[in-house]
């Protein structure tokens, strides 16, 4: 990913702590482009496994190493309409992860 991508920053920080250096030959603008290059056999990458990135030719390998847990934040504006799906999502997240 390009230098303005927070995923790139997180990955570089993580691998730096493992005394590992990533070498890139091309920086893409978006995750689907990266996934497309990998699916075409033009490299490897660490990507979030999402439905949008399910392409033929990709092989997903789960990273199971201590420290590979990332947090996601959400901000809900007060006095705004929330769809039933959004309400269920917020309820799930707060019941499972609220501290």
Contacts of 11 (CB under 8 A, 6+ apart): 22, 46
> Each residue of 38-87: pLDDT tens digit?
888 887 787 777 766 778 878 877 777 776 666 656 677 788 888 888 88
- 32 in a structural domain: yes
DSSP assigned state of 30: S
Q: Is residue 45 part of a domain?
A: yes
Q: How far is CA 51 from CA 3, 28, 60, 89, 96, in A?
A: 24, 19, 12, 18, 23
Q: What is the pLDDT at residue 12?
A: 78
Domains contained in the chain, number: 1
Question: Residue with structure tokens 């390998």?
Answer: 61
Structural domain includes residue 99: no
CA–chain centroid gap for 64, Å, is 15
In this predicted structure, what is the pLDDT of residue 43? 79
pLDDT of residue 67: 66
The whole-number pLDDT of residue 23 equals: 74
pTM of the prediction?
A: 0.54
Range of the domain at 22: 6-53
Residue 31 lies in a domain: yes
Q: Does some domain include residue 88?
A: no
Q: How far apart are CA 83 and CA 69, in angstroms?
A: 29
Specify the pLDDT at position 3.
65
């Amino acid at each position: 990913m390009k230098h303005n991508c927070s995923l790139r920053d997180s990955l570089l920080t993580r691998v730096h702590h493992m005394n590992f250096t990533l070498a890139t030959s091309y920086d893409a603008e978006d995750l689907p482009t990266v996934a497309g290059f990998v699916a075409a056999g033009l490299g490897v990458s660490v990507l979030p496994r999402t439905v949008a990135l399910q392409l033929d030719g990709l092989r997903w390998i789960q990273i199971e190493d201590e420290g590979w847990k990332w947090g996601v934040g959400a901000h809900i504006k007060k006095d705004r309409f929330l769809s039933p799906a959004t309400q269920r999502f917020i309820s799930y997240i707060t019941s499972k992860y609220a501290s």
